[in-house]
């Protein structure tokens, strides 16, 4: 069961490892992305942040889509973390059973627009989110699990 798909450029950190995992009763943190899956140092570092009693799985996009669609992940209560809006869209495109997206933190740059205190979006990311919303995907912003959901369709 997919409890949450979250975009957070930091992937696994205190908010995710403690707050979100506990709130979602997750027993598996599934980190998806080609960059992280192919970076030995990054994978090793992420394993250090894994909470006790929770499985950590790190896969590239194609393998993650295959695993989710095959049903092999159904036995877990998964919190899926991706680093970018593009990765989230690719995962949703490949796994139609994912119908909700949480935005937590995205990186600020000279070409991004500040949408919230923690969400900075490129124009192409805004277009991707609008497309997902038009397809019926819930796109919401919450930095912390106890925060009120903010519907991104009102912000972009």
* Contact indicator for 119, 103 with CB cutoff of 8 Å: yes
Residue 19 confidence (pLDDT): 84
Q: Three-state DSSP class for 136? A: coil
CB-based contact 56:47 (threshold 8 Å): yes
The CA distances from residue 82 to 16, 36, 39, 70, 154, in Å, are: 12, 10, 15, 20, 23
SS3 82: strand
pLDDT at 117: 92
- How many C-beta atoms lie closer than 10 Å to residue 110's C-beta? 4
Block mean pLDDT (10 aa), the chain, length 156: 94 79 92 96 90 93 98 96 97 97 95 95 98 98 91 94
């Amino acid at each position: 069961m997919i409890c949450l798909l979250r975009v957070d450029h930091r992937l696994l950190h205190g908010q995710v490892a403690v707050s979100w995992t506990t709130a979602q009763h997750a027993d598996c943190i599934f980190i998806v992305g080609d960059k992280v899956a192919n970076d030995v140092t990054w994978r090793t570092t992420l394993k250090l942040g894994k909470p006790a009693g929770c499985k950590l799985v790190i896969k590239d996009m194609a393998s993650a889509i295959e695993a989710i669609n095959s049903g092999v992940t159904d036995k877990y209560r998964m919190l899926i973390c991706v680093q970018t809006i593009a990765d989230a869209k690719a995962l949703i495109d490949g796994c139609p059973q994912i119908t909700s997206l949480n935005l937590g933190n995205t990186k600020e740059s000279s070409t991004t627009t500040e949408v919230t205190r923690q969400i900075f979006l490129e124009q192409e990311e805004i277009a991707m989110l609008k497309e997902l919303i038009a397809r019926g995907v819930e796109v919401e912003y919450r930095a912390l699990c106890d925060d009120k959901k903010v519907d991104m369709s009102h912000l972009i």
